[in-house]
Amino acid sequence: MIENFNQPRDGRIARRGRRELPSATRLAFLAAFGSSCATRDMAELLDSLYPIGNNACMPPGSKLALAIRHVHFENCGTLEDVLLERGYTICYVDAGRQCLQDLDLYAADLLISLGGPISVTEADAPWIRDELRLIERSIARLTPTLGICFGAQLVARALGARVYPARSRELGWKPLLLTEEGKTSSMATLAPEALPLLHWHADTFDLPPQATLLASTPGVPHQIFEWGDHVIGFQCHPEFRARDIEAWLDGHALEIARTAGANVEQLRRDTARFAPALVRQARSAFGDWLTAAGL
């Protein structure tokens, strides 16, 4: 089931199983991260529930994935297919349109931050600060957290890494190179024999402290990283599906036009050539990571 959050409703979703944090960890979370909610009563802060959409209905036994979306056509893609097959309800929340400050993470089994043509360096945008706090809260309470492209940059920043403009834009299909750690990780099936993935970004990030680098490209060494067993970031786009290419070409027309070497027809040809194999490999990699994260 897929839900789009449009506006608050009167009902609230039912409580389900939670990962309970020790009191000391809860206090450490507040001390380390704070939030706009920090002055609220502790019980209210940790136990409040956020409505996820008009007439939203969680089937019995369903798990909830909250996906923060930054442009409508950059969705969970192949990850969405994998989650739906595992019985998840996916709730898309549109950053900049819906309030992120009080999104309840106790209701969520998985937090996803998706891509978009934005820079983490534009931190004067209130919703970017709110999303960073949301990711910090998610990591602190051990909610499995996954970031893609801009979302991975937010995750890296939340973990203390620097985000900055890359030496050159990456826009197109190119091989992903797994590190030795990556070859024995849940990402091992993602890039056999240097399978090309779609890359579409202008910024990059330093590897967060205590993170494990899983994959690189020659121009951007930090492509996939894992932090513990419940946080992963993808600078690349393993979620991409061929059927989404025209929406990307339209929505990112200006970015394509100002990127040296980018060509619409080449992007179409490469997508037709490489995307089918990527879908197969990404389904396996996403499934393996979800299982390793206890999902």
Domain boundaries, the chain: 2-292
Q: Say yes or no to pLDDT of 233 above 50.
A: yes
Q: How confident is the model at residue 2 (pLDDT cuts 50, 70, 90)?
A: low
Q: Report the candidate in 125, 121, 129, 138 with the shortest Cα–Cα distance to residue 101.
A: 129
Q: Say yes or no to pLDDT of 179 above 70.
A: yes
Beta bridge partner(s), residue 112: 67, 146
Residue-wise pLDDT tens digits, 59-111 = 666 789 999 999 989 999 999 999 999 999 999 999 988 888 877 778 899 99
Q: Are 187 and 178 in contact (CB under 8 A)?
A: yes
- State the pLDDT at residue 149: 95
Q: Report the candidate in 217, 193, 177, 198 with the shortest Cα–Cα distance to residue 270.
A: 198
- State the pLDDT at residue 284: 95
Q: Say yes or no to pLDDT of 271 above 80.
A: yes
Question: CATH code for 2-292?
Answer: 3.40.50.880
- State the pLDDT at residue 163: 93
- State the pLDDT at residue 1: 64
Residue-wise pLDDT tens digits, 25-73 = 333 333 333 333 332 333 333 333 333 333 345 566 678 999 999 998 9
- State the pLDDT at residue 4: 61
Residue-wise pLDDT tens digits, 139-158 = 999 999 999 999 999 999 99
Beta sheet of 177-178, edge-to-edge order: 2-4, 88-94, 63-69, 110-113, 145-148, 231-234, 224-227, 212-216, 177-178
Q: Say yes or no to pLDDT of 255 above 90.
A: no
Q: Say yes or no to pLDDT of 6 above 80.
A: no
- State the pLDDT at residue 257: 84
- State the pLDDT at residue 173: 92
Pick the more confident residue, 251 or 180: 180
- State the pLDDT at residue 274: 94
**Percent of the chain beyond pLDDT 90?**
54
Q: What is the mean pLDDT of the chain?
A: 80
Q: Say yes or no to pLDDT of 124 above 90.
A: no
Q: Report the candidate in 8, 1, 5 with the shortest Cα–Cα distance to residue 95.
A: 5
